[in-house]
Structure 1
Amino acid sequence: MSSSILIAIVFLSIFTIVKYSVNQHINEEIQEELYKHLDDVSTDSNDTYLIQVDQWRAREHNSISVNPVFVEFYDTNKQLIDKSPNLKNSNIQLLAANQNNKFTDTKLNGIPIRQIQTGIINKDQVVGYLVVAMSLEDFEIVQILKNILLISYPLILILLFLIARFLAGRSIKPVSTIIDTSSQITKDNLKSRIPLPINKDELFVLSQNINNLLDRVENAIEREKQFTSDASHELRTPLAVIKGTMEVLIRKPRNQHEYEEKINFCISEVNRLNHMVDQLLLLARFENQKQNIKNETIYLNAIILDNLTRFSEKIESKKIKIITSFSDDYYIQSDNYLVSIIISNLLSNAIKYSDSTGEIRIKLSQNEHHITFSISDNGIGIAPDDMDKIFNSFYRSDVINHAQIKGTGLGLSIVKRLCDLLKFEISVDSKLNFGTTFSLSFSLAKLK
């Protein structure tokens, strides 16, 4: 619609400019001829004007076929005195006095002409009339142009429509491909991807972003499936142990010591199961935690000391030596509760995997932009092949050789998710049978 209006405006502008130019050209030529013939007129003592016939007839007005200019002279009684030879037996119509000095379109023997008439003045009196006319046959160019534009307009619109339809068809093809591919993608089929267009335009970026989104969705669903499978397995294991223990317990009468031993074992498995459920709920809550993250100034020293106090009983039972190195005060800007969970899990792991009478070193250091927290133990360490798996849910390194170390395999998974959520950098350095060091990097808090 806008294209058709624009073309119409352009065509109308062309026609108007050409018409004005042709009209202006004809008017100037007629005006020039009028002044020339007025110069050929003189008056005598009787106030009768005389025409210098030889001069004006000598001009090239004798051919009606080449730029014909028609001239006529009239007296005060509007009687014809003389005229140019190219008029032959024809006469130009003398108009009323109110049409003097005005361009008027009339006809001469059916041929369109433009004429102008003026009074011949002598001593402020009109002593006669001069009429000059010119054929408008050249003006047919305007009419031809008008016809051409009127014919061209619908043809151009049709051509533009066909071109636009063709180009739109080609440009919309990638969109159709996106729609077709998207309709094939279901929860059971997440492998399909949108073919990337050849041209790297906006549709290329859109297709690429959709493919990246599908990759993330597929990975998330795969992780969810794996998590569900692992969770169901890990939950069934303690339940099966409890059930087996209870079945063995009721097969025959037993003494009080045996009852107490089996019941205490079941209680420990229930506690383990309860701890696992708490951690699973914690993981599930972290999936929607982004909107609820607090931004507060945290005193790291206090969080570390609080967690050491919380685990003091286990530390004393294993006779582990705690060495701290943070003489200064360290502050960060983050969520106090979530940071406490991270440090708690790292400290719990360090205690769990440390040998009796081992050492745990906790250090805080600071540079210009960051604060670094590190916790090191001299325990069993992590095998190099397991380093890239330790943050996976339910993964526990070398369980067979260390069956006495109980756990759910969720602690480091929680730590990694919280670090990603809070945009902390976490790294691990470990050597088998020599110990492990976890390091966290925090941005400095902006204290007021």
Structure 2
Amino acid sequence: MFSFSFKNRIAFNYIVSGSFLIAVVFVFIYSVVKYSVNNHINEEIQEELNKHLNDISTDSNDTYLIQVDQWRAREHNSISVNPVFVEFYDNHKEIIDKSPNLKNSNIQLLNNVNNKFIDTKLNSIPIRQIQTPIINKGKIVGYLVVAMSLEDFQIVLILKNILLITFPLILILLFLIARFFAGKSIKPVQTIIETSSQITKDNLKTRIPLPFNKDELYVLSENINHLLDRVENAIDREKQFTSDASHELRTPLAVIKGTLEVLIRKPRNQQEYEERIQFCVSEVDRLNHMVDQLLLLARFENQKQNIKKETIYLNALILDNLIRFSDKIDNKKIKIITSFNDDYYINSDNYLISIIFSNLISNAIKYSNNETDLTIKLFEDNNSILFSLSDKGMGIAATDIDKIFTSFFRSDVVNHSEIKGTGLGLSIVKRLCDLLKIEITLTSEINKGTTFILRFPEVNLK
């Protein structure tokens, strides 16, 4: 099997289909010309046959007479480009008379082929003849043979040779033309190949130039560029995530190591040991919580989690999460205000929705001031269910709102170092909202509080 380039394959496939069409056209032309020439010769021979039959008369002795004078006169007065040969035979198949143009030659009288057109030869010249019996009173009294040269038919043979010669020449010419235009058509593919060969893990900025015509190659180039955008963004996120994760994990490990080194430098009393060990335990818990969140975030990074849809009673799910954080709520003396206008149900993944509520409520409690209100609302708007969570805490600076869903980002951490966290909670919330097609928005004002709003899609309504 020959290995053709893509350009040659296009040209070859075009030629295969084109050759069939050209062959059909050539056969049709040849057949029409052949049929026309054959009919023309046959009609002329038949016409001559009828004329000469009219020149024959029969006497009382059943002998037919040829009106030679009329025949000769007609032959001299008519112009014939293609000569007609005529011979008369008696009932014994002996020649009685013939046309002068035969001279010393004779047309062969054949057996059992009366009234049929037969191709024979006269002195090596191809002719077509027809013979008919001359009948008088039911008896054959002679034969009339009319023939005509097949020189006109040579046109058909010449045409056949021309078509056979030109057919491969046309195919070769069409192949070269098709190959030329195929090369121009797939030039954007060559550009894609050259550009993609320049793209490496260290060079993801290069993009494929879009073709001028918005055809399939334009769509292909555009999709490849979008793919490169996603790959670049994913690699950038991976690099940033790896950098941030290593930094965040290194900090508590360094604190634990430093604390333990201080403990072993000199003997301590039991209370000091207990305080330092308890501090290390809290750092281990913080580290364990961070690892759990990192694993959870990685789990949904590529959105490969299988969503298990079921009917969720939002009112009960929110109250369950509030009970989980009841101790923290009581410690900060936060007043919970719930506003549920009705019972609200959605079709979604109960586990993932619970994680979203848990992280949002945990964040709201963490950043709320003591003895303030935390308001939770469920309501319907434009055929969608909305969840609203408002706290009266420190708020988020306007410059940080766009970064709040970035992994490990914590707003104003310097001025609020007493608030512990990993900066992963809201990143997980955003990832799950994207996965479940939930729209999440927030508004915030420094020292006044923050409001998160979730809009569940209409298709999730029960």
* Structure 1 and Structure 2 fold alike (TM over 0.5): yes
1:25 to 35, 40, 47: 40
**1:304 matches 2:321:** no
Shift of 1:24: 1.7
Taking the TM superposition and a 5 Å limit, the aligned residue runs for 1:39-78 are 39-60=54-75, 66-78=81-93
Aligned-partner Cα distance in 1 for 2:195–2:249: 39
**1:285 matches 2:299:** yes
Work out whether residues 61 and 86 of structure 1, in 8 Å CA contact, stay in contact via their aligned partners in 2.
no
In 2 relative to 1, CA 86–62 (structure 1 residues): closer, same or farther, beyond 3 Å? farther
Q: Which residue of 1 aligns with 2:6?
A: none
Secondary structure at 1:292's aligned position in 2?
A: coil
Deviations 1:159-182 (A, max 9, x none): 123223323333343333333333
Work out whether residues 391 and 412 of structure 1, in 8 Å CA contact, stay in contact via their aligned partners in 2.
yes
**1:269 matches 2:269:** no
1:230 to 244, 259, 282: 244
Work out whether residues 385 and 461 of structure 2, in 8 Å CA contact, stay in contact via their aligned partners in 1.
no
Shift of 1:291: 4.5
**Aligned residue type for 1:324:** T
Aligned-partner Cα distance in 1 for 2:450–2:75: 115
Work out whether residues 339 and 378 of structure 2, in 8 Å CA contact, stay in contact via their aligned partners in 1.
yes
**Aligned residue type for 1:68:** P
Aligned-partner Cα distance in 2 for 1:354–1:82: 134
Aligned-partner Cα distance in 2 for 1:420–1:197: 33
Aligned-partner Cα distance in 1 for 2:109–2:295: 108
Aligned-partner Cα distance in 2 for 1:205–1:328: 48
Shift of 1:438: 0.7
Moved more, 289-298 or 142-151: 289-298
**Aligned residue type for 1:181:** T
Unaligned runs of 5+ in 1: none
**Aligned residue type for 2:426:** L
Taking the TM superposition and a 5 Å limit, the aligned residue runs for 1:304-323 are 304-323=318-337
Q: Which residue of 2 aligns with 1:394?
A: 408
**1:13 matches 2:55:** no
Taking the TM superposition and a 5 Å limit, the aligned residue runs for 1:44-123 are 44-60=59-75, 66-96=81-111, 98-123=112-137
**Aligned residue type for 2:58:** T
Aligned-partner Cα distance in 2 for 1:409–1:291: 22
In 2 relative to 1, CA 128–290 (structure 1 residues): closer, same or farther, beyond 3 Å? same
In 2 relative to 1, CA 385–446 (structure 1 residues): closer, same or farther, beyond 3 Å? closer
Work out whether residues 380 and 435 of structure 1, in 8 Å CA contact, stay in contact via their aligned partners in 2.
yes
Q: Which residue of 1 aligns with 2:179?
A: 165
Shift of 1:348: 0.7
Q: Which residue of 2 aligns with 1:219?
A: 233
Aligned-partner Cα distance in 1 for 2:57–2:384: 108
Shift of 1:211: 1.7
Cα root mean square deviation, aligned: 2.1
In 2 relative to 1, CA 409–174 (structure 1 residues): closer, same or farther, beyond 3 Å? same
Aligned-partner Cα distance in 1 for 2:74–2:437: 98
Count of aligned pairs between the two proteins: 446
Moved more, 253-262 or 319-328: 253-262
Aligned-partner Cα distance in 1 for 2:384–2:70: 106
Taking the TM superposition and a 5 Å limit, the aligned residue runs for 1:112-151 are 112-151=126-165
Work out whether residues 367 and 393 of structure 2, in 8 Å CA contact, stay in contact via their aligned partners in 1.
yes
Unaligned runs of 5+ in 2: 1-15
Q: Which residue of 2 aligns with 1:380?
A: 394
Aligned-partner Cα distance in 2 for 1:360–1:93: 123
Deviations 1:243-292 (A, max 9, x none): 22333344444444433333332222222111111100111111355352
Aligned-partner Cα distance in 2 for 1:329–1:36: 109
Moved more, 403-412 or 284-293: 284-293
2:448 to 434, 439, 445: 434
Work out whether residues 61 and 85 of structure 1, in 8 Å CA contact, stay in contact via their aligned partners in 2.
no
Shift of 1:373: 0.7
In 2 relative to 1, CA 136–329 (structure 1 residues): closer, same or farther, beyond 3 Å? same
Aligned-partner Cα distance in 1 for 2:281–2:77: 132
Shift of 1:15: 2.0
Work out whether residues 437 and 457 of structure 2, in 8 Å CA contact, stay in contact via their aligned partners in 1.
no
**Aligned residue type for 1:279:** Q
Aligned-partner Cα distance in 1 for 2:93–2:18: 56
Shift of 1:411: 0.5
Moved more, 158-167 or 211-220: 158-167
Shift of 1:344: 0.5
**Aligned residue type for 1:164:** A
Q: Which residue of 2 aligns with 1:202?
A: 216
Secondary structure at 2:368's aligned position in 1?
A: coil
**1:358 matches 2:372:** yes
In 2 relative to 1, CA 373–59 (structure 1 residues): closer, same or farther, beyond 3 Å? farther
Deviations 1:170-229 (A, max 9, x none): 334333333333333333332333333333322222222112111111110110000000
Aligned-partner Cα distance in 1 for 2:42–2:421: 106
Secondary structure at 1:99's aligned position in 2?
A: coil
Aligned-partner Cα distance in 1 for 2:68–2:461: 107
Secondary structure at 1:402's aligned position in 2?
A: coil
Moved more, 259-268 or 1-10: 1-10
